[in-house]
Amino acid sequence: MKFNAPTFLIIATILANSALCAQQFSGLPVLISESPLFESTGNTSWPYAITLTTPTDGASSQEEQTLDINVTGLPVGAEYRVLRSMSDGSFFNGDPQALSVGSINQEVPSNAITINAVEFDRTVKVQFSSGAIIFNNLFVNSRVDLNISIDDFAGLNTEANTNNLAISVTENGLGLILGPGSSTLGRDAFGTGTSKFGQAGAWFDGSYVKFGNSGNQQILDLRIINNTGTDAKLKNISFDLRRPPANANFATDFQLLYLATGDSELIKGFSVADGNEMVNLVPIGSDVLEAGINNFSEFIGQNISGTAWIADGGYANIRLKLNTTAQQAATQLDNLVISLEILEILVENSDDENSNDENLDEANSDEADSNEADSNEADSGEVDSGKADSNEADSDEADSDKADSGEVDSGEEERVQAWYQNVTNLGNDWIRSAWLGDFRVRSDPWIYHIEHGWMYVFSNSTYSEGIYFWDDAMKEILWTSKTAYPIQYRFSDKKWIWYLKESKNPRFFVDLATSEWEEHD
């Protein structure tokens, strides 16, 4: 689907592996107060909310609920909180939480909100303290866990000598290599075994990785490869280790270590773009072994107090190292499962973005052809004052009628009176603002400014005389006002910049914090 600017796309669908309804938004920055995804609550402290689930969703409302939202503009002190119903029908308000601001172009939303699963049908909403929060990506219940696992180690081992190990598998867009090719050294433990140890039961299936015989054979290296098409969180590594109860020599504990070898990159941070590679041999998991079968599940994020990422097309090398009372201590590994988490993005807006660019280029071309004539017309003073007076009178009459009917939208009236005040109609859709300058309204809320080019003006504002707007050439959200202009506030880097009036192609700005000049188309 292609769409023309300005617009956005919302998709409500059922994920293939979940009954949860996934709402998604991806597009130009928009205010919470202007998005149909959010409802007005009537609560002045928490005026807007988005619903993640309700009891009518049935069993799926009991599942974990998630909201991922990329905030690109944030009023000072703006927060969110979670509202959820309890088993007795009452409602519980969570503590207010701070929001994080992300860049306009980042793929991973700047805020990841998770509400844990319960055992009853419920309502879950996320409330926000301001309608002036600006966002450009939003995903409800769109996180997907992808697993890759190995159980039949002996059957998958491609080494003729079973005291060696080489396994490579793919699943769900993921790859997993054990032994050679998993790291520089490719430690492969002590190969694979097929004994059932005289035991019956699901665990004793006669296919496992064996450890023992020497120090190097107490180490297994593995490589996790991400070919999912998006950056993925390394969420969990689980496996079973059997410590033979009767052995005098045994493994006491294990360590999971990151190997920063080759092009391996396990990145800790808010996202791949904003994070840093973890250092070589940093621990990402550990635990002690008891006699018998030990079931381990290592939550990587919890262990490193952060988020571990594997970039799309990248890989991370991991080492499982057993510490033992003696080098020959025997241990068996089985049921290896590695879980990664991705956002399943159903909004495919790459073609749409190209379409937007094409539409804007075409419009810019049209404007370029008409700017000279229109500008000359404006400069020559050939203002259709009668038309302007007529329009103004019609507007007053409409407002009067609306007031009589009790349908006055005070917010909209304030908006129009605020930044449209003292404007003059120059003809041919050109308008002159006493403070903002000349612009042309082509497809509200898009305007074409004589100096700044295409601007998307958000219709709501926390300042009665100011505007939030998207500068399409700069690819930034800014704020300015009648009293501030030509000074503008840029949200991405939280800087005040001063615009040199009448400069264009390029436009010149001064960073007021550093006094350095900037050039922008």
Report which of 475, 480, 442, 443 is spatially closest to residue 461, judged by C-alpha positions: 480
Mean pLDDT on 271-298: 95
* pLDDT recorded at residue 344: 79
- Residue 162 near residue 192 (C-beta atoms within 8 A): yes
**Cα–Cα distance between 268 and 308 in angstroms, integer?**
5
- Read off the pLDDT of residues 28-67 as tens digits, 9 standing for 90 and up: 677 888 788 999 999 999 999 999 999 999 999 999 999 9
* pLDDT recorded at residue 419: 64
Query: Comparing 117-126, 152-161, 423-432, which segment has the lowest mean pLDDT?
Result: 423-432
489 and 516, same structural domain? yes
Two tokens, residue 259:
């190997």
150 and 287, same structural domain? yes
Looking at the domain assignment, is residue 350 inside a domain? no
Looking at the domain assignment, is residue 186 inside a domain? yes
The confidence band for 117, taking pLDDT boundaries of 50, 70 and 90, is very high
Report which of 40, 105, 73 is spatially closest to residue 469, judged by C-alpha positions: 73
CATH assignment at residue 119: 2.60.120
Predicted TM-score (pTM) of the model is 0.63
* Beta-strand runs (E) in 54-197: 65-73, 79-85, 91-93, 97-98, 111-115, 124-128, 134-140, 143-150, 167-171, 174-178, 192-193
Tell which of 117, 142, 167 closes a domain: 142
Looking at the domain assignment, is residue 89 inside a domain? yes
Query: Comparing 184-188, 302-306, 380-384, 443-447, which segment has the lowest mean pLDDT?
Result: 380-384
64 is in which domain, residue-wise? Answer: 8-142
Looking at the domain assignment, is residue 238 inside a domain? yes
Which has more confidence, 355 or 447? 447
Tally of domains in the chain: 3
235 and 377, same structural domain? no
Q: For the chain, give the mean pLDDT.
A: 81
CATH assignment at residue 278: 2.60.120.260
Tell which of 142, 172, 203 closes a domain: 142
Looking at the domain assignment, is residue 43 inside a domain? yes
- Read off the pLDDT of residues 214-227 as tens digits, 9 standing for 90 and up: 999 999 999 999 99
- Residue 130 near residue 47 (C-beta atoms within 8 A): yes
181 and 93, same structural domain? no
128 and 92, same structural domain? yes
The confidence band for 11, taking pLDDT boundaries of 50, 70 and 90, is very low
- Residue 50 near residue 115 (C-beta atoms within 8 A): no
| 270-to-29, 66, 100, 306 alpha-carbon distances in Å | 21, 16, 10, 8
Reduced 3-state DSSP string for 414-467: HHHHHHCCCEEEEECCEEEECCCEEEEEEECCEEEECCCEEEEECCCCCCCCEE
294 and 262, same structural domain? yes
**Cα–Cα distance between 157 and 188 in angstroms, integer?**
11
